[in-house]
Chains A and B, each alone.
Chain A
Amino acid sequence: MSLDIWMRENPLTYIWLGSYAVALLIFAIEIAMVRHKRKITLQQVRQMREAEDEAGDEK
């Protein structure tokens, strides 16, 4: 069955899978990326602080 016929027979599935599921997936990926970025940045800042503390102790 071609896509044209399928979409006309199942318009709501076409809309949901094609638009809303894709949009929600994009939102989910964006949220995951923002959370990951925060996690990584916090790790880097903590490592920097630890390195500075160790350097301070050695002095």
Chain B
Amino acid sequence: MAINWFKYSAPTTFYGLAGKLIPWFAIPAALLFAIGLYIGFAVAPVDAQQGEFYRIIFIHVPSSILSMFLYLIMAGYAALGLIFNTRLSAMMATAIAPTGALFAFISLWTGALWGKPMWGAWWVWDARLTSELILLFLYLGFIALHASIDDPRRADRASALLAIVGSVNVPIIYFSVKWWNTLHQGSTIKFTGTTMHVAMQQAMFTMLAACWLYAIAVVLARVRSIILERERNTVWITELPEVRS
């Protein structure tokens, strides 16, 4: 049976679908967070060099990965909205930005907490750290620019351009540890494999999955409010059961 994907690009259809999907992402996210934290703190062994401090990795790495991927997804949606003038794409980009910004902040915050015992400094103007900070500013710039323009369609177009141009920063973040001599360590997990202990990998991938599911659930919940707000003058919104009650 072929699925008509274009049907789900309409806010009318997507609103209901998003509402049904949220619990399917939120509940597994909570379970995986609990499992990931259990493996990370009770099962994974102490690191030979970094001692207990390495355990920050289980939140630092997933939040860093999410901050970069969410930006690319946000820029992708923004580009779709700009090219095809689809309403839902722009709404999705707007819904992703705050979650991406929070993950970028958590990445920087936990990185600082890891840096202090390992490097002796909360912050250094290292290429990886600086480019991640720029990513946070790009998210904040996207949110601020969108909020500063009253007409939502004009706001979508202006902020989409910022998102697309800013996406050049994501490969810079990823490759910064290869291109420059940085204090930040290189990638532990590569396409060719990893030297991490199995329990450490399990904890990290479980937390990564939990963060992904959490981000999807929160973005779906936020986009429903954005759809409600922007389509409030349409007939289908006034006929929704939650609006009629």
Contact = CB atoms under 8 A, between A and B. Distances in A.
B218 A31 contact: yes
B109 A19 contact: yes
A52 B114 CA distance: 56
B225 A11 contact: no
A54 to B, nearest CB: 14
Chain B interface, >50% SS class: helix
Nearest to B224: A38
A31 B22 CA distance: 12
Interface stretch (B5-13, B99-107, B190-198): B99-107
A47 to B, nearest CB: 10
Given A11-B52, A48-B232, A23 B222 contact: no
A26 B105 contact: yes
B137 interface: no
Contact of B109 (A22, A35, A49): A22
A15 B55 contact: yes
A52 B41 CA distance: 57
B151 interface: no
Given A41-B228, A46-B243, A30 B53 contact: no
Contact of A11 (B37, B51, B106, B218): B51
B191 to A, nearest CB: 27
A8 B117 CA distance: 8
B113 A23 contact: no
B225 A34 contact: yes
B228 A19 contact: no
A45 B225 contact: no
Contact of B243 (A4, A30, A34, A49): A49
Interface in A4-59: 4, 7-8, 11-12, 14-15, 18-20, 22-23, 26-27, 30-31, 34-35, 37-38, 41-42, 44-46, 48-49, 52
B232 A26 contact: no
Q: Top 8 closest A-B pairs, CB basis?
A: A11-B52, A18-B113, A19-B110, A38-B225, A37-B225, A41-B228, A41-B225, A34-B221
13 contacts: A7-B116, A7-B117, A11-B52, A11-B53, A19-B59, A19-B114, A20-B37, A22-B110, A26-B102, A30-B102, A34-B218, A44-B229, A49-B244
Given A11-B53, A12-B55, A27-B214, 13 more contacts: A11-B117, A15-B56, A19-B56, A20-B37, A22-B109, A26-B105, A30-B98, A30-B218, A34-B218, A38-B221, A41-B228, A45-B237, A45-B238
